[in-house]
Amino acid sequence: MSKVLPLLIAALLMAGFALLIWMPPRPAPPRAYADLGSAPDWTELDAYAGTMTRAEFEALLAGPFTLGDRWKEFFEISDAAVRTRTEDGWHELPLAPPGGESPPPRYWRPAAAMPPAPAGRPLEGVRIAIDPGHLGGSFAVMEERWYKLGAREPVTEGDMTLRVAKLLEPRLAALGAEVTLVRDAPGPVTARSAREFRKYARHRLRTGTPAEVRGFAERLFYRTAEIRERARLVNEEIRPDLVLCLHFNAEAWGDPRDPELLDRNHFHVLLNGSYTPGEIALHDERFEMLLKILQGIHAEEKALGTVVAAALAEESALPPYVYKAEASAQPVPGSPYLWTRNLLANRLYRCPVVFLEPYVMNDRIVFERIQAGDYEGTRPVAGKERKSIYREYADGVAEGLRAYYAANRTRPAAP
């Protein structure tokens, strides 16, 4: 027995050591913030005391801004105040009695707060930021907004949106707008790189393969860090009355070096909203949603988006896109083209955002139009006389903004 006991103890120790070696890594703890997000300053909400009634707040929160009713775990609403769950307690914001609302603090101005414009310049003094989506250039392959069919020119969304932005800028300036491009060249706005996010990616993907970690680090660079830097520029430096997020849509094309072309083309506009139960649970996203609600951004986004969508639909003859029922999106009453989704850009920009998604890049006709490039007037493309797809896009957006501000600048002029 004296010889067996040490052997048994040694065997147990070795088994325990083996378990420690082969034990799978613990899953990452539940996240409290969005990727690269940070703890919000809840006292910033104090400036919105008395700016909104209970009825208006509840209608927005339970309507366009959330999916399901999990929001009830994080908000307590009475006639007098709304209480919001924070990291270590609750924040209480007084609400206004009906008819007693004060104006909310915000750097942007709704059209109705602007005086009538001079004849022929309906955008006089309107501050517009144009945000060309994605990066393009040498980053197009990394960000997976790229495909190439045979010997034809590659399709790169980031370069296409920049081309539209540079066509749209002088059109809006001629109507009186003060226009700033958030990105004015191919490539990122952020000075950070994908390599900087490898450690963060490894922490988040504890069981991920090296390829998965590298891919996640790249997405953190070209999507998350990039949009957060653009948001800093928009909110701290440009401070516009609205942001135009320019994108092109796409259906799944498979191998980007042997893509599938389709006969499917459509268009939609996204407004901020439709926060999922998981997004509501993140402290920073809940805070950012509150700023959207309390600043009254949804009403201006909806009004702007409706008119711009109608003008671009008229210019392009594109049908509306319809999301599947299981998607994290909701239709917006009043326009078949408008939907709410919680995207990083339309959440972080603290002003109305019109997020445009026209043209399916791998539609057969759209592909031919992209190959035709930019040109003045019309040319025969895909069996029909057509404008450059870039000018058609720019013309539709410019006409929508012209029509909206011409009809809605209602503040009496100063004596």
**Residue 19 and residue 12: Cα distance in Å, rounded?**
11
Look up residue 166 and give its amino acid.
K
pLDDT of residue 21: 44
**Residue 90 and residue 139: Cα distance in Å, rounded?**
43
Please return the burial class of 262, using the count of CB atoms within 10 Å of its CB with bins 0-12, 13-18 and 19+.
middle
**Residue 295 and residue 40: Cα distance in Å, rounded?**
17
| Residue pair 182/234 in contact by the 8 Å Cβ criterion | yes
Residues 6+ apart with CB under 8 A from 252: 260
pLDDT in tens, the chain (415 residues): 455 555 555 555 555 544 444 445 555 556 799 999 999 999 999 999 999 999 999 999 999 999 999 999 999 999 999 999 999 999 999 999 999 999 999 999 999 999 999 999 999 999 999 999 999 999 999 999 999 999 999 999 999 999 999 999 999 999 999 999 999 999 999 999 999 999 999 999 988 899 999 999 999 999 999 999 999 999 999 999 999 999 999 999 999 999 999 999 999 999 999 999 999 999 999 999 999 999 999 999 999 999 999 999 999 999 999 999 889 999 999 999 999 999 999 999 999 999 999 999 999 999 999 999 999 999 999 999 999 999 999 999 999 999 999 999 976 655 5
pLDDT of residue 213: 94
CATH number for the segment(s) 111-408 = 3.40.630.40
Cα dist from 25 to 15, 21, 49, 140, 203, whole Å: 18, 10, 46, 34, 11
Provide the residue ranges of all domains of the chain, joining segments of one domain with +: 42-94, 111-408
Cα dist from 363 to 83, 222, 265, 268, 359, whole Å: 48, 25, 6, 16, 8
pLDDT of residue 258: 92
Phi and psi at 70, nearest 5°, equal -65, -20
pLDDT of residue 17: 47
pTM for this one? 0.91
- 391, two tokens: 């000018």
pLDDT of residue 22: 45
Angle at 176 between CA 345 and CA 399, to 5 degrees: 65
| Residue pair 128/83 in contact by the 8 Å Cβ criterion | no
**Residue 116, Cα to own-chain centre: how many angstroms?**
31
pLDDT of residue 10: 54
